[in-house]
Amino acid sequence: MVGLLRDRFLSLLQRGQMFIDQLRQIHAQLIINGLNCCRAASMVGKLIDCYSVVSASGGMDYARLIFRYAEEPNVFIYNVMIRCMPPKEATQIFAHGIAMGKLVFDNFTYTYALGACARLSSSMGLWEGKQIHARIIKVGFTSDVTVQTTCLHFYARRNELPSARQVFDEMPVRTSASWNAMITGYCSQRRGTKDHAKEALVVFHAMLLDCNVKPTDTTMVGVLSACSHLGVLETASCVNGYVHKVIHDPENDVFIGTSLIDMYSKCGCLSSALNVFKRMKEKNILTWTAMMVGLAIHGQGKEALELFGSMEADNVRPNAVTFTCLLFACCHAGLVDEGLQLFNNMSSKFGINPQIQHYGCIVDLLSRSGHLQEAFEFIIDMPLEPDLVLWRSLLGACKVYGDVVMGEKVGKLLLQLQQEQGSWDSLSTCEDYIALSNMYAMAQRWEDVEMVRETMKVKGIQTKPGCSLVQSASLLLAEQ
């Protein structure tokens, strides 16, 4: 009987047909029939795994109960729990296992624990990940390529690129996953710079010289992303040539095709992006959105809206990012009515609640079109708390259209909000003071200009130095 139950359990698991009711029935039968072997590590681990992935509510609670009452959990059971639980709980389970002092964790444990730290949204994730990394060095797993690659990925996800690069440089052996993690790490920074993109290409060039690994599809997606950040068409063409050399019909890969669209759009070659888009047989929401972004940044708002209509006809449902791109396109093309209609359709037609970036696009749209009073009232009536970016957008429009009264009102409100929020960043605050000063100068209110400048001196706010960027058109890969 026990054997039949176990066989059916494993069969359902392999076929992916495990539902919460079936799982509880089998689990109950195992207990009723005195299945002491249910407490064996392999069976306990599979039960925990199954309970944690079922969609019904309560599955995770069953997984926790099994773990809590398991007799002498071993490393395998801990590994399953760390892998299946939410990131914060996973790190707590790892710490509990360390505190017990009886278990000797293996490479899978450290891989799952570091992965959990990489997914943590709190700042504690970085500290906890560093503690785990220190323990990895202490117990001697620095030669394990999977653990080291996960460690590299962790630092990159936490925006600690110097630490990620140090781990990468110290790896005695690297797989394609290691190279991909480093390239992707450079390209996925929230505050990414052209230097990061260039470093990604440098790493890719070194990868080509390594005879032990070959670039994969993931590699090329990361490299194409780096080219997008650089915006140098010659480099983009060079990488595109390599992609076509190693991958037959790259447009048939939806991710590479989408990356090509994004790269060519941001490198100023919209025609090539459109050609790639038309040749792609399979398109997902990212593909459509990338093409809309390309049209938007080139000022072709009407074409972006037409593409949105084609996407609807193709039964592809838009998401919040899609609407951000469309509203951005309307801003640059001056399509006020179309933008307002899109904004209203977000929630009424598509069930997407507007976020702060969508409200920002509408403020920018109204401001650019000279509807300053409407933009001001729109901000005031927002259900969300407006951020400083929205007010700065309106203040800039007031200067363009010479509305000194509105500009003074917005400028003073902006400085007041900064003081209330305690967000006195010297550079951004400097720009706000200068903008208000320029508004007064436009109205020839020189006493007010002097007052603003004097306030800046008292608060120690210095003007932001200007700079210019000269972009070399030489091929970055050829420099190596």
Do residues 267 and 296 lie in contact, with contact meaning Cβ atoms separated by under 8 Å? Answer: no
pLDDT confidence of residue 222: 92
pTM as predicted = 0.78
pLDDT confidence of residue 121: 78
1-10, 244-253, 330-339: the lowest-pLDDT one: 1-10
pLDDT digits 0-9 by tens, 389-431: 888 888 888 888 888 888 888 877 877 777 666 555 544 567 7
Over 50: is that where the pLDDT of 243 sits? Answer: yes
Which is more confidently placed, 362 or 414? Answer: 362
User: If you search the block for the tokens 């700079």, which residue do you land on?
Assistant: 467
Which is more confidently placed, 479 or 19? Answer: 19
11-20, 349-358, 418-427: the lowest-pLDDT one: 11-20
Confidence of residue 386 (pLDDT cuts 50, 70, 90): confident
Confidence of residue 207 (pLDDT cuts 50, 70, 90): very high
Confidence of residue 14 (pLDDT cuts 50, 70, 90): very low
Spatial distance between the Cα atoms of 80 and 176, rounded to a whole number of angstroms: 26
pLDDT digits 0-9 by tens, 130-150: 999 999 999 888 889 999 999
The Cβ of residue 249 has, within 10 Å, a number of other Cβ atoms equal to 12
Over 50: is that where the pLDDT of 224 sits? Answer: yes
9-18, 205-214, 288-297, 400-409: the lowest-pLDDT one: 9-18
User: If you search the block for the tokens 């609670």, which residue do you land on?
Assistant: 61
Positive or negative torsion for Cα 195, 201, 205, 208: positive
Residues whose CB is less than 8 angstroms from the CB of residue 76 and which lie 6 or more positions away in sequence, other chains included: 41, 42, 45
Domain ranges of the chain: 366-463
pLDDT confidence of residue 16: 40
Do residues 167 and 152 lie in contact, with contact meaning Cβ atoms separated by under 8 Å? Answer: yes
Spatial distance between the Cα atoms of 415 and 452, rounded to a whole number of angstroms: 11
Spatial distance between the Cα atoms of 55 and 34, rounded to a whole number of angstroms: 28
Over 70: is that where the pLDDT of 470 sits? Answer: no
pLDDT digits 0-9 by tens, 147-174: 999 999 999 999 899 999 999 999 989 9
11-20, 55-64, 124-133, 332-341: the lowest-pLDDT one: 11-20
Confidence of residue 15 (pLDDT cuts 50, 70, 90): very low
Which is more confidently placed, 37 or 131? Answer: 131
